[in-house]
Each structure stands twice: as structure tokens, then as C-alpha cells.
A and B are shown apart, each in its own frame.
Chain A
Amino acid sequence: MSDYVVEMLNITKIFPGIKANDDITLQLKKGEVHALLGENGAGKSTLMSVLFGLYQPEEGTIKINGEPVKINNPNDANALNIGMVHQHFMLVEVFSVLDNIILGVEPNTAGVLNRKIARDKIVALSKRYGLSVEPDALVEDISVGMQQRVEILKMLYKNNEILIFDEPTAVLTPQEIKELMQIMKGLTAEGKSILFITHKLNEIIEVADRCTVLRKGKYVGTVNVADTTREELSRMMVGRDIQFKIDKAECKPGKVVFTAENITVASKHHKNNAVRNISFDVRAGEIVCLAGIEGNGQSELVYALTGIEKISSGKLALNGTDISRSSIRQRSRLGISHIPEDRHKYGLVLEYSLANNLVLQRYWEPEFQNAGFINNAKVLEYANKLIKQYDVRSGQGANTIVRSMSGGNQQKAIIAREIDKNPELLIAIQPTRGLDVGAIEYIHSQLIAQRDTGKAVLLVSLELDEVMNVSDRILVMFEGEIVGEFNPRETTVEQIGLYMAGAKRDTPSTGTGTIEKTKKQEMGVKSKP
């Protein structure tokens, strides 16, 4: 019997023109949590796809329990007791928890579905591993944390021994993350082996036994987590030192630039309001951060501020001008810039060239058009200026079709466009989503630079690290309301986490309903990139 349950030895996976995995070795011991660390594009996903039989490696061998195996497709992987919790859950929302767990392996008596057998097994499993779920609740009605537990139970129900968690904490609150860590430790104590894909160093330090680091498709090394530090891991991951603390000057808030008074926004998904009676203001020279778990009304609030959605009541003012009923274009002209949450859905016309996208908010200005005819020379000149200034990289410069650009550079293009408008108020929602460490650093520095030139910045973020590091003032949203206001220097991540999860609040609740449903629907949308 081998020490290792999974051995991926010298795996090389070549896509025409590129080595996505170059001689990578990953060995998973029985009963350990093994972290797989790497930036976006480091080859983690390719490696897991190889293990799951979605790709065939050009070189290298896979051994399970010491036996060389050939995994041709995901069914082979299942047969070898390999299971995976995907980042975006693979659940049938309108099915019950129980039905989701048994999907694909339904127990039957003479061809008739026998839920009794399943229920007993699920209850036993959930007790044994401390995975509390409600078997009869519909998946769409339960919390994200419980959905994840359902995913874990799915693997356990199939008697999977090797469990892969693909960035499982991205959608969880700090409390839920803690619970998950406990669950993972419990699973390994019971003899399961876990591969934990992540780029969050704190989680690795907390839960993993060993960690394998990939960079640019190459194997960097495997370390014992107990013998290493966060700094060491990050250096292995990106190949240079990364600043965790952002250097920024003291915040010197000036006059109030933007005011929202008693804003209410109806929800598109259900009868309750998505945003309920929210009031806040943003001053010149400060970054105000709206923190909260996805689907608590942040998106709707921003759509209302920028004019994409109408407010049902309340008042918005920019530098004293009432803009509650202004059009999107008017608000933009008055000085609101918007870095949207979904850069493909809102931020860019992907089929347009980079130049055309860079003038998306100002093609109508006299500078760029003459009697309705676009002045292409001017557009190109302007685009080249921005490309240079903001270091937007692309294959064919200003003429590159934006669809072909990398996510980081697409985001840079949006940031260049929105910041170059010289806005009074810059609204950024999740500006660093899906980007790697270098890009995140850059975007944070741009936001802070905006602040330092005396502009008002409203940042909406789900990442608590980002919230704590970048903002000068934190507003926590829960179920469409602001439930707490904090100074990041005087609070802790745990404290904010409690407010985000709705466990604590400073203001009395005004509504009764739950917006759980919106949360799910939005997640559903997000999961299809």
C-alpha cells in the first residue's frame, strides 16, 4: 500500500502552442488536506481537469493508491472515488436537498425510487461529519453555506474518498468559512483526503497540511504548511514579494460630494424591495466601501445610483444637484463614473475595438464627432493616449477587438475610461473580481490615487481583505439595508462578518421578508460567465 492516495507524476499537458502543465507532480497523502496554490492561469484547473479525465496529459502518470490508472472521462474519476465541489455549485435549485444528493445514484426498489434508504444514509452521513442540512428543503431556499454542505454530502453519498474543493470559500462569510474549515478537518480525521484549490493564503495556513505551488504552468514546490509562512507562500506563488498592506496616506475627507437619502429600489425578482430606505453620503477624498454578501442589494443600489434602474423613492444628489430622476447620460455628464460589476455584460462591447470601447462614455462629445460623423483619427489618438497612460496591453493596440483581450486588461481599459472622465464620484463594484494579484494591486492603487486627488470613491466589494485594506469607511449591507458603519482601523474582519451575516445590526430592521431568493438567482446568473 502506497503512502499516497493520488499521485500525479510529471504531468505535462500541452495545448497547441502552450504548455499549460509542465512536468507537474502532485502527491496527495491519505487523510491530509493538500492545498493547490497558484494565481489565475497557473495551471491549477488544467491539472484538476487531467485528474478528472477531462483532458489527457501528453506525459506523466496518474496513480491511485499506488496503482497506475488511466482516467478517460469523469465517469472513470467517479469510479475511482474522486469527487469535486465546484466553485459554482452544480445543484438543481428546484429539487430538494435529498433529491440533489441522490441525483445520479438514486436508490430504488424494483425500479421505484426509494427515498427512505437515501434519507437514512444521508442523516447518518450528516451526523458523522457534522454537516447539518435539511433534507426536505428546496435548494433555492437554503443558504449558500448549506448548499455547499449539500455538495459535500453528494460526494460522501457516493463514497468518494478523494475530495476536491475548488475555491470553496469565495462565496462564504467569515463564519461560514470557519465552519467549512472545521468540516474539512473532520473529513480528514475520518480518513478522507482533500485537495483544496485556492489562492487565499490565510486559509491554507489554517487548514492545510501541505501545499503544492504552481506558477506559469510549472511546478514550484511542495511545502509543509507548518514550516512555512504566508510571505513565503506568496513569493512562491507570484515569484516576487507582494505587499499585503496597502500604503496609503491618512484620509482627509472634504465636502460632501454625493448624498443618498432614503433610497428604496424595487427588486426584479420578488415582491420585496431589493434596497430598503438607505441613506448615506460620500465625501471628497474618501473611499466608502459597501461590504456585504452577494445579493444583499448592493448591485441594485449601484444600478439605482447610476441610473440603470429607477428608484421607487428617495433622493440622490451630486454636489447639491438633484439627480434622482436624471438619465444615465446626464448623471455621467455631471460626473459619475461607474466601473460595473460585470465587465462583459455592462462594461464593454466585446465586439468593438479597444478604441471604440474607450470612447463608450464620450463618443458623442464634440471632440470625437462632427455633425454626427465620428472622427476616427481623434478617437484613435485618444485611445492611444489612454493605452499608454494606463498600460493597457493588447495584440493590436487600439484596434484590438476587446473580446480577445485578457480579463485584467479589459478591466484596465474600463478603469482608464472611467477615471479619465475625471469624475466627481467614482463607483466601482467588485473591480478586482477574477483578477490576479498584480492586477489587484494596480487597481487598488488607482482607486487610492483617485481618492488622493480629492475625488469621492464608492467601492462595493465582497472581499473582506479588500474592504479592510482599501476603504476609509465601511458600510455593511444586509438584506437591502445598511446595518452598520465602521472605521476599518477600529474594527475586525470578524466583527464585520457578523454584520454581513445578519447576526448583528446597529439599526432596527424595517422590512420583514427575506431576500434569500434573489441571492440564489443572482448566483445562478453569475455562475454562467
Chain B
Amino acid sequence: MMTKIRKFIQSPGAASFLASVASICIGLIFGYILLAFINPSMSLYGLGKILFAGASTTEKFAKVLYQAAPLMLTGLSVGFAFKTGLFNIGASGQYTMGAFFALYAGIILKSPWWVALLAAMLGGAIWGAFPGVCKALFNVNEVITSIMFNWIGLFAVNLTLSNIPLILDRVSANRTVNLAAVNKSAMIPKWGLDTLFGSSFMNISILITAAAAILMFIILNKTTFGYELKACGFNRNASIYAGINAKRNIVLSMVISGALAGLGGGIYYLSGTAQFTIVKSILAMGFNGIPVALLATSNPVGIIFSSLFVSYIQVGGEAMQPEFAKEVIDIIISVIIYLAAFSLLLKGLINRLLTWQNTKRDKVFAAGSTSVGDGQQNPQVGAATANKSESDGVTK
């Protein structure tokens, strides 16, 4: 029985899933306590809104899907980079660049929506390539470069937009023109989903992004390219030893990661319902991709669900206004992410404990058996085995 449970806990997928679910539950409980603290009489009402508002009407659910789409892409962007051993904290800058390229293609060049989306990917890819090249050639930490490129991207886009009068709205000059007014073909098609859901927010973007997630899953898990990328991410030295061009892979990984974030920018601003606003702070969508990726432990298919979840409770957060500030949701999300990281740690600890026992057992069997080691006694996976098996207790 114990071994069954142990095996289940240690199958990587189950463990990640359990960790995420556990942290979501605790996060929500924490959220409820917070609500009770702010306004005790309305706390149950607030929690109800968080939990159920997103599914209360098809219109609300359309909003969930609408917000989930770009979130899914920035999540994929961060997650893909994570899988290959890179921390792309620059999804925001790539997202901004993607938005700009998409809007330029749509408004100025009058391109159809799919060309504008390709342009968005190009913009994001270019912005991702810089940190990638710096990392590959000069070993500059990608976190630092991509943070810098968030700001460079934001202000470069602001500056450029300010100098292209045609792209800006005539009434309020700090935002881009309404897409529906200048180039309807650049808007992401709705395929009748808007009437189905009864919401003008609804279009096919969620289908595009889910397809992107599945594509990423296939690339990472089924192709030699994914094999190489993950090998680089797990152990760069071993991948070099195997003759894999690690530098090329770093750049490609950042380019793909950037393209995904860029596509997110395109998806959001080509919906027709959003207008790009010239602001002085970095767009949160890029950063929200980090929790989305973390919650799904960077699994592309998991990211589909984690982005839907985050979007769902965000919609719930908006619905519990004015009784509560919608920022409460940000706190709850933060708590969940915090716990997600923490429960992964716990999972790691459990694994350590179990594998450590097994290693000890291994050692003893290994010493006695006439052949090398004794793997049969060692049924599972763990984080600490390798280190443990090489060093001894006393030196610890």
C-alpha cells in the first residue's frame, strides 16, 4: 500500500498536479480569510463571486476565455523557456513588441488578421532573440537582459506610436485607433462564437492559443528538437558532450519563447475590443505568464488549464466589486503561486526522503550482490539520489 502511494506521489505528473491543486485550495481559503477580514458580512458573497462568477453566464465565461488567451501565450512563453533551462522574464517586452507589430500591420499596412499575427510573432521573436544571443555568445544572464528589454521595448513602442499619427485614435491620442473603424479584416474572426456566447469579447483566439499549446507540447516531447532543447535545459554540459549545439539552442529557445509572447500581444490587441494605451509601466500580462507557467510546472498542456484558472478567478474578482477591490484576486493569485513553489519544495522533500531511503537500501544491496548495484530495489525517481549516492553521511 505504502509503495503504491509512494509510486503515485512520485509519478511526476501526479505530483505536480496535486501540488497545484493543493496550493489553489489553500490559496482560496486564504483569500476567504482575507475577505472575512476586510468585510465579514460580505465575505461569503465575495468568495461565491470568485468561485462561480466566471461560469455564471456565457458572457462571463466568454470574458474568461478572452483573457485566458493572451495569458496562455505568455505562460507558454515563460514555460517553454523554463523547460529549456532559461528564465524568460522578458515576456512582457516581447508581448509589447508583438502588440506593436500586429497593430502596425493591421492599421497601417492594412494586413489581414493572420498576417498581423505573424507580424506579432516576428516582433516578439526579435525581442526574444537579443537576450538569447547575449546569453549564447557572451554568457550574459538572460534575466538581466530580458528585464532591460522589457523597458526598452515599452518605451521604444511608446515613442514609435507617438510618432505615427495614423495609428492613434483621433479623440484620445494616447491610445491606438479602434481596429473596427480602420481595418475590419485585421480583427480576429469570431466564427459566430460571439453570438453563441452572447459576448462581443468572444473570438477564435482561445482556439489559436490552445493549438499553440498543443504544438509546443508536441515539439517538446515528440521531436528531436525538443529532445535537444530539454537536454540543454536539464544539463548543458551533457548536451554539449552529446554534440548538441547548445548555443544555437539557447537562441532558438528564446526566439520561440519571444514569438509566443509576441503572439499573445497580437491576439489581445487584434480582438477589436482592446486598444493599446501609451503607459509608462510595463504591461502586467507578460509577468502574469510567470505564475501561469509555474502553476502548470511549465507543462504546455497544463498551461492551458492554469491560464484558464487564473483568468477565471480574475473575472470573479471583477465581479465582486464594489464590495471588494478586485486587487484581492491578485493577492490570492500571489498566495497560490507562493504555495505552488512551496508545495513543489515539499514534493521535493518527500522525494528526497523516499529516495534517500532507497539509496541507502541500494547501497547495502549493492555491496552484497555480485553484480553492480541493484536497481530493482529502487523503484522510483527522486531529486536527491545522485548527490546522496556519491557522498557519505559523515562528510555531510
Contact = CB atoms under 8 A, between A and B. Distances in A.
Interface of A: 15-20, 38-46, 48-49, 52, 54-55, 84, 86-88, 166, 215-217, 239-240, 306-308, 327-330, 332, 338, 340, 344-352, 356, 360-361, 363-364, 369, 372-374, 391-396, 400-401, 403-409, 411-412, 434-436, 438-439, 442, 529
Given A49-B394, A346-B238, A393 B243 contact: no
A17 B378 CA distance: 12
B223 A442 contact: no
Interface string B98-137: 0000000000000000000000000000000000000000
List the 4 closest A-B pairs by CB distance, nearest first: A41-B363, A329-B243, A406-B373, A408-B372
B361 A405 contact: no
Nearest to B365: A216
Interface in B363-381: 363-381
Nearest to A360: B242
A442 B373 CA distance: 12
A340 B238 CA distance: 10
A11 to B, nearest CB: 14
Interface string B338-368: 0000000000000000011111111111111
Given A55-B393, A350-B234, A439 B372 contact: yes
A369 B224 contact: yes
A348 B235 contact: yes
A407 B389 contact: yes
B280 interface: no
Interface string B227-252: 10011001101111111100000000
Given A86-B395, A393-B375, A405-B373, A216 B367 contact: yes
A308 B240 contact: yes
A363 B242 CA distance: 10
A215 B383 contact: no
Contact of A529 (B235, B239, B391): B391
A294 B248 CA distance: 33
B396 interface: yes
25 contacts: A15-B357, A16-B357, A18-B364, A39-B367, A52-B394, A87-B392, A88-B395, A166-B395, A307-B243, A328-B243, A330-B243, A346-B241, A348-B238, A360-B238, A364-B224, A372-B224, A393-B371, A394-B378, A403-B381, A404-B380, A404-B385, A405-B373, A405-B385, A436-B372, A438-B369
A54 B394 contact: yes
A412 B368 contact: no
A215 B375 contact: no
Contact of A332 (B243, B369, B374, B395): B243
Contacts of A364: 224
Contacts of A48: 393-394
Contacts of B377: 395
Given A42-B364, A360-B242, 10 more contacts: A40-B367, A46-B360, A48-B394, A84-B394, A87-B392, A166-B394, A216-B367, A349-B234, A361-B242, A405-B373
A141 B248 CA distance: 39
Contacts of A392: 375
A345 B237 contact: yes
B381 to A, nearest CB: 4
B380 A349 contact: no
Contact of A18 (B225, B360, B383): B360
B386 interface: yes
B218 to A, nearest CB: 9
Given A54-B393, A240-B370, A436-B366, A352 B243 contact: no
A408 B364 contact: no
Contacts of B281: none
Contacts of A363: 224, 227
The CB with the most chain B CB atoms within 10 A, among A216, A308, A344, A404, is that of A404
Interface of B: 222-225, 227, 230-231, 234-235, 237-244, 355-383, 385-387, 389-396
A395 B227 contact: no
A373 B355 CA distance: 33
A54 B237 CA distance: 34
A403 B375 CA distance: 11
B226 to A, nearest CB: 8
A208 B164 CA distance: 87
Given A393-B371, A409-B375, A328 B240 contact: yes
A18 B363 CA distance: 10
A96 B340 CA distance: 46
B353 to A, nearest CB: 8
The CB with the most chain B CB atoms within 10 A, among A88, A240, A372, A403, is that of A403
Given A42-B367, A215-B368, A373 B223 contact: yes
B243 A407 contact: no
Contacts of A328: 240-243
Contacts of A401: 381
B230 to A, nearest CB: 8
Contacts of B234: 349-352
Contacts of B358: 17, 404
A340 B241 contact: yes
The CB with the most chain A CB atoms within 10 A, among B225, B227, B373, B390, is that of B373
A347 B237 CA distance: 8
A405 B362 CA distance: 9
Contacts of B387: 529
Nearest to B219: A372
Contacts of B242: 328, 332, 360-361
Contacts of B389: 406-407
B83 to A, nearest CB: 11
Contacts of A239: 368
Contacts of A327: 243
Contacts of B376: 393-395
A438 B371 contact: yes
A166 B223 CA distance: 47
Contact of B374 (A88, A406, A434): A406
Contacts of A19: 364
A378 to B, nearest CB: 12
A438 B393 contact: no
A17 B227 contact: no
A45 B222 contact: no
B383 A403 contact: yes
B224 A349 contact: no
B202 to A, nearest CB: 35
Nearest to B3: A17
A394 B394 contact: no
B357 A17 contact: yes
B362 A45 contact: no
A351 B283 CA distance: 35
A391 B375 CA distance: 11
A399 to B, nearest CB: 10
Nearest to A529: B390
A19 B222 CA distance: 42
Contact of A404 (B223, B360, B381): B381
Contacts of A15: 356-357, 360-361
B378 A406 contact: yes
B241 A308 contact: yes
B351 to A, nearest CB: 10
A369 B225 CA distance: 11
Contacts of B395: 86-88, 166
Contacts of A347: 238, 241
A330 B242 CA distance: 11
Contacts of B392: 44-45, 49, 87, 166
B367 A344 contact: no
A43 B364 CA distance: 7
Given A349-B238, A435-B372, A18 B379 contact: no
A40 B369 CA distance: 12
Contact of A215 (B237, B240, B367, B394): B367
A215 B369 CA distance: 10
A267 to B, nearest CB: 18
Nearest to B378: A395
The CB with the most chain B CB atoms within 10 A, among A40, A86, A340, is that of A40
Nearest to B373: A406
